Amino acid sequence: MARAAVSGRLTWRVAELAEVTDITGSARSLVFDVPGWPGHLPGQHVDVRLTAEDGYSVQRSYSISSAPDGERFELSVQRVADGEVSPYLCDVLSPGDQVELRGPVGGWFVWRATDQAPVTLVAGGSGIAPLMAMIRTRAAEGSRVPFRLIYSVRTPEDVYYADELRRRAREDNGLDVHLVHTRRSPEGAPPPGRLGLATLNTHAWPADFAPNVFVCGPTGFVETVSDIFVALGHDPRRVRTERFG
């Protein structure tokens, strides 16, 4: 894997889009087949490169949201309204179309199923993508490591993989899911508000348990949340962050 990861970082591969589905009104799941794909660890990302006919080329990073599955993997892309790449991936790219990508990238923001420490996952918006890979890998490997997911979204309609998360919270032993709504809550749920110290103190594993903490989302969100974990006494080396900004 280590050798494959190094060569994967350097090699641009041709990936073919196999399936597209809506995740929310503004996010899509893109499943790619990548011949020669060396495999990935949950938490890693790929760089996607698009090249126009005149040679103009742009690239962006996207986390893999699926568990390892041979030469196939899923990306979960949020459409940024005035963005250059994400609207193309969400609205134009169709099954059978090809893009270039390289990876898997990243060796720090990864969860290994052999690590028995409890895990706290904190996602803001599309930051759920690499954490979903961890949740799905945990299930695929039959791991009993206790996971707690705290997921901040604007409204109930913005929850990625809502049905799957509800099902997994019921069926995957040891997976706890807590949603925080920042703009509008569902009926009967607590009023909307930002994710803060009280929520993390209540729903994350306490520092005494020496959990692995993974925080992913927009830069401001990640910085606020990781500062709170450190203030709560967590070892900063166990608080791993991925910024989408």
Ligand X SMILES: Cc1cc2nc3c(=O)[nH]c(=O)nc-3n(C[C@H](O)[C@H](O)[C@H](O)COP(=O)(O)OP(=O)(O)OC[C@H]3O[C@@H](n4cnc5c(N)ncnc54)[C@H](O)[C@@H]3O)c2cc1C
- Give Rg (Cα) of the chain: 18
> Please, what sign has the CA dihedral across residues 93, 42, 47, 227?
positive
Rounded least distance, CB 148 to ligand X, Å: 21
Among the listed ranges 59-67, 110-118, 160-168, 185-193, the one in contact with ligand X (CB under 6 A) is 59-67
End-to-end Cα distance, the chain: 28
Q: Does 77 bind ligand X (CB under 6 A)?
A: yes
Q: Does 129 bind ligand X (CB under 6 A)?
A: yes
Contacts of 172 (CB under 8 A, 6+ apart): 135, 138, 139, 147
Among 37, 147, 161, 244, binds ligand X (CB under 6 A): 244
Rounded least distance, CB 213 to ligand X, Å: 17
Rounded least distance, CB 88 to ligand X, Å: 8
> Are the C-beta atoms of residues 152 and 221 closer than 8 Å to each other?
yes
Q: Does 86 bind ligand X (CB under 6 A)?
A: yes
Residue in the block written with tokens 């500062």: 227
Task: Name the residue with the smallest CB distance to ligand X.
Answer: 83
200-219 mask for ligand X (x: CB under 6 A)? ------------------x-
> Are the C-beta atoms of residues 121 and 174 closer than 8 Å to each other?
no
Residues making contact with ligand X (CB under 6 A): 45, 60-63, 76-78, 80, 82-86, 126, 129, 218, 242, 244
